[in-house]
Amino acid sequence: MHSQTSSPAGRSCVASSRPGIDGDRPLRDHLPDGTALDRPQVHVVDDYADFRQAFMLNLTSRGLKVQGHPSGEAFLETPVLTRRGVVVLDIDFDPPGSLNGIQIYQEMLRQRSPMPVIFLTGPHGEDVHVAVELMSRRVGKTYFFAKSTDFETRILPKVLDFLDSERSDLLALERDRFTAQWLLDKLTSRERDVLQGVLDGQKTLAIALDLGIAESMVEELRASLMDKLGVKRQPAALGALVMPVLERHQASSVQDFVRRELALRLSLPTPREQEMLDLVLRSARGIDEAAKVAGCSADQVRAVLQSALVRMQAPSIRTVRKWRALQGRADPDDLGECAT
Domain total of the chain = 3
What is the arrangement of strands in the sheet containing 41-45, beginning at the earlier edge strand? 66-69, 41-45, 85-90, 117-121, 142-146
Q: Could you tell me if 164 and 48 lie in one domain?
A: yes
In this predicted structure, what is the pLDDT of residue 213? 96
CATH code where residue 234 lies: 1.10.10.10
Global pTM value: 0.74
Q: Could you tell me if 81 and 198 lie in one domain?
A: no
In this predicted structure, what is the pLDDT of residue 56? 97
**Could you list the mean pLDDT of each consecutive 10-residue stretch along the chain, which spans 340 residues?**
39 39 41 51 96 96 96 93 92 89 92 91 69 69 90 95 87 83 88 95 96 96 89 79 89 93 93 93 83 90 94 91 76 44
Residue 111 lies in a domain: yes
In this predicted structure, what is the pLDDT of residue 132? 77
In this predicted structure, what is the pLDDT of residue 137? 63
Which domain, by its residues, includes 111? 38-172
CATH code where residue 322 lies: 1.10.10
The model's pLDDT over 8-18, given as tens digits with 9 standing for 90+, comes to 333 445 433 33
**Residue 197, amino acid:** G
- The string over 199-223, giving b where at least 16 C-beta atoms fall within 10 Å of a residue's C-beta and e elsewhere, is beebebeebbeebebeeebbeebbe
In this predicted structure, what is the pLDDT of residue 87? 97
In this predicted structure, what is the pLDDT of residue 81? 84
Residues 52 and 69: their CA atoms lie apart, in Å, by 8
Q: Could you tell me if 43 and 143 lie in one domain?
A: yes
Residue 146 lies in a domain: yes
Q: What is the dihedral of CA 288, 289, 290, 296, to 10 degrees?
A: 60
Q: Are 89 and 162 in contact (CB under 8 A)?
A: no
Residues 148 and 255: their CA atoms lie apart, in Å, by 48
Which residues are 145's β-sheet partners? Answer: 120
